[in-house]
Amino acid sequence: MATESSATPPAQAARSTAYDPTTIEPRWYRYWESNGFFRAERRPDKTPHVIMMPPPNVTGRLHMGHALQDTIQDALTRLRRMQGYEALWMPGKDHAGIATQNVVERTLREQEGRTRHDLGREAFVERVWQWVDEYGDIILQQKRRLGDSCDWSRERFTLDARYERAVQDVFVRLYEEGLIYRGDYLVNWDPENRTALSDEEVENVERDGHLWYVRYPIEGEDGFITIATTRPETMLGDTAVAVHPEDERYRHLVGKTVRLPLLGRSIPIIADEYVKMEFGAGALKITPAHDKNDFEIGRRHGLDVINIMNPDATINERGGPYAGLDRFEARERIVADLEAQGLLVKVEDHTVNVPISSRSKEVIEPLISRQWFVRMEPLAKPAIEAVRDGRITFYPERWANEYFRWLENIRDWCISRQLWWGHRIPVWYHTRPDGTIDESRGFVVSIDQPEPGMVQDEDVLDTWFSSWLWPFATLGWPDEDEQTRQDLAYFYPTDVLVSGYDILFFWIARMIMAGLHFTGEVPYRDVFITGMIKDKYGRWMSKSLGNGIDPLEMIEQYGADAVRFSLTILCAQGQDIKLDPTKFEMGRNFANKIWNAFNVFGQFMEIGEDGRPLRDYRRQRAFGELELVERWMLTRLNQTIAAVEEDIARYRLNEALTKIYQLFWGDYCDWYLELIKPPKGQDMDEDTIALAVELYERMIQLLHPFMPFITEELWWRLRPRRDGEACIVSAWPTRNEAEEDPEGAAVFGLMQEMISGIRNVKSQHGVAPGKEITALVNLPAEAVGSIEALRRHARYFDRLARVTDLTVGSGLARPAACASVVVGRAEVFVPLAGMIDLDQERERLAREIEQKERFLTGVQKKLANPQFVTKAPAEVVERERQKERDATAELKRLRASLAELG
């Protein structure tokens, strides 16, 4: 029983000539959704096709990247659905730890002048939930405007209770397997957010900096050793000076000590191969607590580790007189003080690589802190294997290399974050009577509180530590109830992941690791990596540049179908897209073309007041009984279906869509429709309507995955249909080779060339296209078939080139004052007495002759080469011979025509 909202929407009663998507699109979306067409269920009789939508951040707003990737995922989902698969496109959203916390903190600050610390953890997290409840769904609502046909009944959130359980379960498992450990290490510290970040969240940016040369006085003798540094403020934490063991300049100093300027601490001079002799002065200050390499050196030499910084990147009490200063202020002061003491030798300009937080864009501070890590190597190995042995395929392939490179050099993953919003780390500590944590008693890793009085780790997990479980946790893993077990068995592994290369490491690779480790299977078989959307100058779209293009505005302006069409056609394999809003005109124009093409035959159909046809126009004629142009069109259609199939199998959606576009516009509209139009004032006969409907129907089915709205709307205007017989669930067209007629199509192709030639002649001679003319087609006597076909289809010449009198035969005399067109073995004479400009015609023919000669010379050169004749495949040689014969004959006729013009 259809509910009110699921009733098929009425068609617009009054048709306007320009297609207006604004009312049509939302109506069909409601219709599809309320009829459950997006829903997927376990159906043992059907093969599933599953795509997991990369969950957008709850703070997110739809941008062009989403629009592109959703368009692709939706096209694949709709296509598979039509092909009879049980198509599941699973939507959801990501809690996005730092991003979301930042948004709420900012609102708090701006609206109430308070910080999260003013509220306290519990109240703050409560606030974030309120925010998520209010705004978290916006992006998913926006996705509906695009037409996403995902199964909203299965929508998941990375902080759903069940999902949270999965995340914590994974933590516990990995810990028990020895793959998670805690330790004090140098991590990437974001002073703005005051949290650790993973290596992947750090961007290295080249900046103009300086190289300061500083003298460290040697103890026990006069003299100095000069070190060079790009970060002088870290000298407060120096615990050694290092030189290369083979550096003759310094060899005698190794083992001695220097007095650290400003603080006066005594530190050793050590020898380490890491030091580059040619860099700076050849001596390096070592600050194990604030530099990755120094940390390693410090470890090798058992150096002290002195942390001189607070979490907010101010200098701590270990910095003596500089305590309390911001790191950059401290730098200036230290340089000034060194200079004042005569210890600054010189300053050079120097380009430095500065690590930047991809979150806050603040300069990252390498800082020693106690964090949780995942041992990645054991997880990476199977992930490498899965791609190497072909269980997973990347499209385009080259991304597999990026993937290998990262996995083969993988470093442990810092997963703890000093945030409040996210999955709390399932680790518990004993407390002392005063409530503080008693580290001496160790910790317990457990989802639930192990014993009363224990407190949970304050930190939360990296957001990606939850989203790497997305493909299976969304299906209920690791629950073992019957429902979940069967869902996983049916829908998992999924078929294809569509995403951008920007999260290849963050997410795609980690999902593969997690999938293999926890489910024993790959999470998806194909990975389709899209290019990224850039602005028209090739720059990343960003808020700060203000160069973003809002997909919703574009949808308003051009329609979702148009946006989808343009994005798909622009999305070539792996290439970034330089997007300009005018590109959407392409899609809009095409939608308009589709809309208007319907009218060519639609105006002759019996249509009810609701815009729906009253009768079903069904083809009565067998293929052989069809008109030439009809057989040609069916041939083109079937060939295109086959080609589209191949393109889609390789994820070449742009090529598939281009072919459908050409079929619809270039063949169907420009030739077929023009030829089936009845003469003015006459009706279109039913047989003609029936085939026009059939062809149109199949083409809008081909277009439906890409342009779902307009195709659904027109689908219902083509035939009377029962409730629920929607385009979205119609059967995808398959190639019918029985309805291909290559010979007929070739004859039609010949006519197309002739017609184009005649149009060209008219245009070149300034004859109005509508001017009625006569023409003669001369063919060799043996071309009986062609002669007959042309005679029978003289109407085509009338219709398309206004040739009202066509004579076809062999040995026809060339009329005086005529232009001529050579097509293969045929010659078309166009008598244009009184209209023809002889000079023009001579010029035109000369041009053609020149072109043809160039072509023939090329062919003859090939054939004159004995190597070619003997080595090239026989059919290629034969093809060249045929070309030579044709061109020679054509040239002869062209020359004759020119000669006869005098």
Partner RNA sequence: GGGCGGUUAGCUCAGCCGGUUCAGAGCACCUGCCUUACAAGCAGGGGGUCACUGGUUCGAAUCCAGUACCGCCCA
Write out the two tokens for 38. Answer: 């997006």
Least distance from RNA to the Cβ atom of residue 500, Å: 11
Distance, CA of 422 to CA of 196 (rounded, Å) = 14
Of residues 527 and 600, the one with the C-beta less far from RNA: 600
DSSP state of 551: H
Distances (CA, A) of 319 to 47, 329, 561, 794: 66, 13, 62, 97
Going by C-alpha positions, the residue among 721, 702, 788 that lies closest to residue 751 is: 788
The length of the chain, given as a count of residues: 902
Residue 231 or 677 with smaller CB distance to RNA:
677
- Does residue 78 contact residue 727 with C-beta atoms inside 8 Å? no
Q: Is 538 exposed, middle or buried (0-12, 13-18, 19+ CB in 10 A)?
A: exposed
CA–CA dist 108, 106 (Å, integer): 5
Rounded CA gap, 901 and 848, in Å? 15
Nearest in space to 431 (alpha carbons), one of 404, 453, 448, 463 = 453
Q: How many CB atoms within 10 Å of residue 86? A: 20
* H or E element at residue 52: strand 48-52
**356 bridge partner residues:** 203, 363
**Cβ neighbours around 586 below 10 Å, total:** 16
In Å, what is the CA distance from 507 to each residue of 54, 358, 453, 463, 499?
9, 15, 37, 10, 10
The residue ranges of DSSP E strands in 314-473, in sequence order, are 344-357, 365-374, 393-395, 413-414, 416-417, 427-429, 443-445, 455-456, 460-461
325 in helix, strand or coil?
coil
Q: What share of the chain is helix, strand, coil (3-state, %, to 5)?
A: 45, 20, 35
DSSP per-residue letters across 775-793:
EEEE--TT-HHHHHHHHHT
Q: Which is nearer to RNA, 201 or 459 (CB)?
A: 201
Nearest to 63 by CA among 687, 499, 399, 542: 542
* Nearest distance from C-beta of residue 474 to RNA, angstroms: 27
- Residue whose pair of structure tokens reads 């509910």 in the numeric block: 3
CA distance 95 to 461: 11
Q: Which two tokens stand for residue 720?
A: 């009377």
Buried residues in 374-389 as b, exposed as e (16+ CB within 10 A) = bbbeebbebbbebbee
Q: Checking DSSP bridges between strand 494-500 and strand 524-530, what pairing results, if any? A: parallel
